[in-house]
Amino acid sequence: MKVAAYATQGAEESLQPFEIARRDLQPDDVLIEITHCGVCHSDIHTARNDWGRSHYPFVPGHEIIGRVSAVGPQVSRHRVGDLVGVGCMVDACMQCSACHDGDEQYCEAGMVGTYGGIEPVIGGPTFGGYSRSIVVRDEFVLKVSEQLDPASAAPLLCAGITSWSPLKHWNIGKGDKVGVIGLGGLGHMGIKFAVALGADVTMITTSPEKGEDAKRLGVKDVLLSTDRSATKAHLGSFDFLLNTVPVKHNLNAYLGLLARNGTMVLVGAIEPLEEMHAGLLLANRRRIAGSGIGGIAETQEMLDFCAQHNITCDIEEIAMQDINAAYDRVVSGDVKYRFVIDMSTL
């Protein structure tokens, strides 16, 4: 089927109207009419080939909210009219140990990305959510509560689960002292989740202005990492650091903040980092780890938690025609904290 979308034809090109092909409904497929799609920084990196592996034409978008408009005969989990979501993946082998463990994002055969993957039925690239509709295998469609605002729920499908997954994997909860490094799309969700999980949360930032906003989000304290005396007072005190900084930076400045057996998890930077002093790890048996998105069951758990605690993203809603200006604003840091496209404007 032919579907209206927005695509870029090259790294230096803007996003423009484009028509794509979606596969016909398979027995276990769900057809979703997209109502909202979040704008992730990964969309921009891929559209502009910042990571050197993009293919064109390219349709971004992996923070998708919409309504089910049709289902295949083998589908029982979703019905026409349901509010649903699709995140960063649309398929996986479902046979390997990672898939059996609910870690489809780490599928040993390679999960199929919502964009930039290989379409498993008709071939060619997978196209993302900057489009009117999408066809997705039943198992990869997530239920979204009607209690959540669809627009501000959209970024939960990437920014939300990326922040939630490490907090759950490291069993963060009441009594844990958590530092969230960086206040953007990921950081503001990390704060909301950690606070709701009962942790004692500190925002770690270089910006006093962001510190004030973090207090609105519920943090107990703000640590300006440029303040040497304040940093010294926090040395060895954090059980867990969620590092959302998206660019190359110095980890040494944060490792000393970890308590004995403390862990810093990187979720933002996907590139080489500055040199690290191993002595800071040996001291107090500290750890550095990385975490991507979560599996399907974990993402559903996160969405259900959000409905229970009324948690969504702070967003600015835009029309599809404003996407290129929005990209420039994201790169310059001019958004609090996620753009979401109203797909009715496509």
pLDDT of 34: 98
Q: The tokens of 230 are what? A: 């304040």
Q: pLDDT of 52-74, one tens digit each?
A: 999 999 999 999 999 999 999 99
The H-assigned helical ranges of the chain are 41-47, 97-100, 150-153, 159-169, 185-196, 208-217, 228-233, 252-255, 279-282, 296-309, 323-331
pLDDT of 3: 98
pLDDT of 60: 98
Q: Mean pLDDT throughout 22-35?
A: 98
pLDDT of 201: 98
How much of the chain, in percent, has pLDDT values that exceed 70? 100
pLDDT of 55: 96
pLDDT of 109: 97
List 91's β-bridge partners, or say none: 112
The answer to whether domain 2-158+313-345 has CATH 3.90.180.10 is yes
How much of the chain, in percent, has pLDDT values that exceed 90? 93
212 pLDDT tier (thresholds 50, 70, 90): confident
Lowest mean pLDDT among 2-11, 219-228, 317-326: 219-228
Taking the complete model, does pTM exceed 0.75, yes or no?
A: yes
Please state whether 328 falls in left (phi above 0), alpha (psi between -120 and 50) or beta.
alpha
Q: Mean pLDDT throughout 178-184?
A: 96
Residue 271, pLDDT above cutoff 90: no
Cis peptide before 208 (omega within 30 of 0): no
Cis peptide before 337 (omega within 30 of 0): yes
208 pLDDT tier (thresholds 50, 70, 90): confident
| Centroid of chain to Cα 306 | 14
What is the average pLDDT score of the chain?
A: 96
Residue 269, pLDDT above cutoff 90: no
Pick from 140, 191, 151: nearest CA to 293: 140
Q: Which CATH superfamily is domain 160-290 in?
A: NAD(P)-binding Rossmann-like Domain (3.40.50.720)
Break the chain into its structural domains and give their ranges: 2-158+313-345, 160-290
DSSP 225: T
211 pLDDT tier (thresholds 50, 70, 90): confident
Pick from 104, 105, 129: nearest CA to 115: 129
Q: Mean pLDDT throughout 326-346?
A: 96
Residue 18, pLDDT above cutoff 90: yes
